Every structure is written in C-alpha cells, then in structure tokens.
C-alpha cells in the first residue's frame, strides 16, 4: 500500500524504486537474514543467525529470558539498555524481507525468513 491508500501489484512494485533503492532493500534484507538488523534507523547490530532474541550486541551479553517489563530495571546495570534486545522483537527486519520478496518476484529465501 502506498501513502495514499493505493495498492500496488507485485509486478508493478519494481517500478516504484530506483536501481540504487532496490540494491539497498535487497542488501538490508539479506543482512537481516544473516542476523544483522538496522537498529533505531541508524546502525547495524549483529544478533546472530539464528537470532539471539535476548542478546544485547552493545554489551555482548544475553538478558535473562524470564525478565518481565516490571523487573527490567533490576537487570539494566548488568545487561544494559533493554531496548537493545527488544529491537529485533519489533521486527523491523520483516519489512525488509517483505520488500525484497516483492522486488524479486517471490524469492523463497525471503518467504522462508518470515
């Protein structure tokens, strides 16, 4: 869907982007498959492949998997900012994979990823 509520058929999707934009979309999708996610719209963090869902790449440490939102403050000194492991759980990488799937005409590696 485009900004004005207009849907685009997969065959027309390629015409929306420049060649450079397509290259970037495919690169970011391939990086995401490899566990490298653009975090906070700025820098690339490596969460591994398969993803380490509780990992803080800035501190190179795993958060305990049983931490609830109510107890996060107890672990931040040791594990760092909870936003780091929460970032891949917001699934920004899926947006990249879906766009790459559309651009490639349905490459299974992107479908398999999500």
- Cα(14)–Cα(85) distance, rounded to whole angstroms? 33
pLDDT score at 90: 85
DSSP letter assigned to residue 63:
P
State pLDDT tens for residues 17-76: 999 999 999 999 999 999 999 888 788 999 999 989 999 999 999 999 898 888 888 988
- Cα(16)–Cα(10) distance, rounded to whole angstroms? 11
110 three-class SS: helix
pLDDT score at 5: 54
**Taking Cα atoms as reference points, which of 24, 46, 29, 48 lies closest to residue 110?**
29
pLDDT score at 1: 42
User: In 14-107, which residue ranges form alpha helices assigned H by DSSP?
Assistant: 19-33, 76-79, 83-89, 92-103
State pLDDT tens for residues 67-108: 888 888 898 899 888 888 888 888 888 999 999 999 998 899
- Cα(107)–Cα(105) distance, rounded to whole angstroms? 6
pLDDT score at 2: 47
pLDDT score at 69: 81
pLDDT score at 48: 92
- Cα(82)–Cα(54) distance, rounded to whole angstroms? 9
Residue 3 pLDDT greater than 90, yes or no: no
């Amino acid at each position: 869907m485009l900004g004005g509520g207009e849907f685009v058929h997969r065959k027309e999707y390629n015409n929306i982007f420049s060649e450079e934009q397509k290259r970037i979309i495919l690169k970011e999708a391939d990086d995401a498959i490899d566990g490298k996610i653009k975090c906070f719209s700025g820098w690339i963090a490596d969460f591994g492949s398969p993803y380490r869902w509780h990992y803080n790449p800035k501190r190179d440490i795993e958060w305990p998997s049983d931490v609830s939102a109510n107890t996060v403050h107890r672990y931040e000194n040791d594990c760092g900012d909870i936003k780091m492991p929460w970032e891949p759980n917001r699934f920004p990488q899926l947006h990249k994979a879906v766009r790459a799937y559309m651009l490639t005409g349905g490459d299974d590696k992107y479908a398999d990823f999500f």
